[in-house]
Structure 1
Amino acid sequence: MEIFIGVDGGGTKTEATAINSAGEVLSRYTGGSTNPYIVTFNKAMEELRTVLDGLLAPLFDKSLLFTSICLGMSGVSSAEERRQVQSFLHSYFRQRQLSMHIYMRSEAEISLMAVLERQYGILAISGTGSNTYAITKSGDIHRVGGWGHLLGDEGSGYQIGLQTLKTVIKSHEGMLPPTIMSSLIVAAYPLQHITDLKSYIYQPAITKQDIASFARCCIEAAEAGDEAADRIIRQQAAELADTTSALIRQQAEFAESELVRIGSIFKHSPLFRETYAGILLSRYPRLRFPEGNRERTPAHGAALLACKLFTDGVSDLL
């Protein structure tokens, strides 16, 4: 039985999936960050080793043929960075007496493969951060966004969370009307009163993920009809739609493409998802928003891509 491995390496977690040639999942494993700009290259490779060890542990069997691996890793984009990862993996597999084709692809390609089972189309991501990619049928990759939480991340969980915090403070100060986001926050966090936010937020350990977590209160309040929360969700959806529009303008074929939406904000906020799609359809009426197979993770998509690239005889040389 041939085995194909996919890895989705992120700044927060890394997921790996092993499948057979029929696409059936045989093993999964989740570990920590493998983004070298967050944890250094050496620590990223140590974590990647841990993830692969965990994934492969239940699979070592003489009847299995480990064939190829495809990785989509945040923070690994230049040719030199990819060569370093490939070098590490060649050494890793040699130590385990395995010979595998190693493919490095973008997070856009593995995510599109997971949903559409192909590598071209448009991908919009709204999770803790945000980003947009578009890949032409000929394989050219375009990107708008991805500047991080200080310079960009429009339409992300971080920006929704930050605007939520600013809004409840302004509401407390009397600059804005009351909002149920205030009571939702006090109930969900270790706070006695909304004024405790200052000491909570300015703790050194608070990260952008912690700020993004406040988006949950905004989404819940918007669903309950809170005007302030509704305004935040719609504004951030519009911001991401503007980012996506800038991407679509780069190639004529993108205006008639399929656009895949992934990430926790798209998943948990129907208002965000529908507002975003409505704005884009008003500008590009031939866009399509397929649901595809949303049970498959990007790691599963990477494994499917490993199978496709190997079957098609694609070289793994960079």
Structure 2
Amino acid sequence: MAVLGLAGMDTERDFRVFGERGAPRVAARRVYVRHDAEVALVGATLGEPGVIVIAGTGSVAGARNRRGDYARCGGWGYLLGDEGSAYWIAREALRAVLWAFDGRGPPTELTGAVLGALGLSSPEDLVPKVYAEGVGVRELARLAPLVTEAARRGDAVARRIVEEAAYHLALHVVTLVRRLGMEEPVKVALVGGVFRAGEVVTEPLRRHLEKHFKVELVEPKFPPAVGALLLSYMLSGVPLTRSLLENIERTAREKGLTP
């Protein structure tokens, strides 16, 4: 058996095409293909009911309820979605800098921080930088820590951006909890570079979530690679006993696979 957690498996067509063209090339009797958020969730919660929010360059959330039903929300890419991601935060920062330059928005310390990081002398230089030079998604996403740091120092514009990011990420969770009829308290695992900023992001996220239900923010227990292994046991009907999990944890620690 092989369990594959793949990014970009977003539609029924994606799964169908991979099943027809990719799965036959995998050296296994059975091949289970899952969205990468699902295997990440299983690793994070040891297969228990919960939600995982992944906010790195992009954003997506996945959830499993007590019946084993799985659903995902978001993950539609930087043009159509990825709200609350590092890319989204950075893009909003660039907009705020230009609004401040226009006079449409308030002054912000993000102006100096963004221009310095990109080696520019004026907000006007953002236009050729973005449109002519074609700043990549990952390059732009690397500006997100400038926003969370400015928010931590009290910059009002940066705080608004971070607050909106937390709202959008919380909306992913609320949507999934309602769709799956999940029981409280809801375990929510946070993964990705956006959450490395700490409480400046996690506290507004918690506040938005607690308007709807009791929540427990948790550190992921295992990375996605181990999640795929655990999911293979679950799909095979093998119970995740304490002794099995302890053995896996010991092996994962030895191999450097623990978070």
Bucket of the pairwise TM-score, normalised by the shorter protein: 0.7 to 0.9
Q: 1:1-318 residue pairs with structure 2 within 5 A?
A: 69-76=2-9, 77-90=14-27, 102-118=31-47, 120-203=49-132, 205-285=134-214, 287-293=215-221, 296-306=222-232, 312=238
Q: Which has the higher helix share?
A: 2
Q: Is the 8 A contact 2:69 2:180 kept in 1?
A: no
| Structure with greater Cα Rg | 1
Separation in structure 1 between the aligned mates of residue 151 and residue 20 of structure 2, nearest angstrom: 46
Residues 204 and 271 of structure 1: CA distance in aligned 2, closer, same or farther (over 3 Å): same
TM-score, normalised with respect to structure 2 = 0.79
* Moved >6 Å (runs of 4+): none
What is the aligned-residue identity percentage? 29
One-letter amino acid of the structure 1 residue matched with residue 19 of structure 2: R
Runs of at least 5 residues in structure 2 that lack an aligned partner in the other structure: 240-259
CA contact (8 A) 1:109 1:119 kept: no
Distance change (3 Å), C-alpha of 1:308 and 1:157: same
Greater shift in the superposed pair: 244-253 or 275-284: 244-253
Q: Structure 1 pair 146/302, CA: closer, same or farther in 2 (3 Å)?
A: same
CA distance in 2, matches of 1:280, 1:174: 34
Uncovered stretches (5+) of structure 1, i.e. residues with no partner: 1-67, 91-98, 314-318
* Distance in structure 2 (CA, Å) of the matches to 1:177 and 1:279: 25
Structure-2 change in CA distance of 1:236 and 1:189 (3 Å) = same
After TM superposition, the score normalised by the length of structure 1 is 0.66
Distance 1:300 1:223 in 2: 34
Q: Kindly state the Cα deviation for residue 246 of structure 1 after the two structures are TM-superposed.
A: 2.0
**Cα deviation per residue 1:164-185 (whole Å; 9 max; x = unaligned)?**
0010111122232321111111
Note closer, same or farther for the CA distance 1:238–1:158 as it changes in structure 2 (3 Å cut): same
Letter in 1 for 2:90: G
Structure 2 counterpart SS, 1:155: coil
Q: Tell me how large the CA RMSD over aligned residues is.
A: 2.5
Q: Provide the aligned length of Structure 1 versus Structure 2.
A: 235
Residue type of the partner of 1:135? R
Q: What per-residue deviation string (whole Å, max 9, x for no partner) do you get for residues 190-216 of structure 1?
A: 223333211111135423223322212
- Residues 97 and 111 in structure 2, CA contact (< 8 A), matched pair in contact too: yes
Q: Secondary structure at the match of 2:210?
A: helix
Distance 1:254 1:199 in 2: 50
Q: Tell me the alpha carbon deviations over residues 16-74 of structure 1, each in whole angstroms, 9 at most, x when there is no partner.
A: xxxxxxxxxxxxxxxxxxxxxxxxxxxxxxxxxxxxxxxxxxxxxxxxxxxx5431002
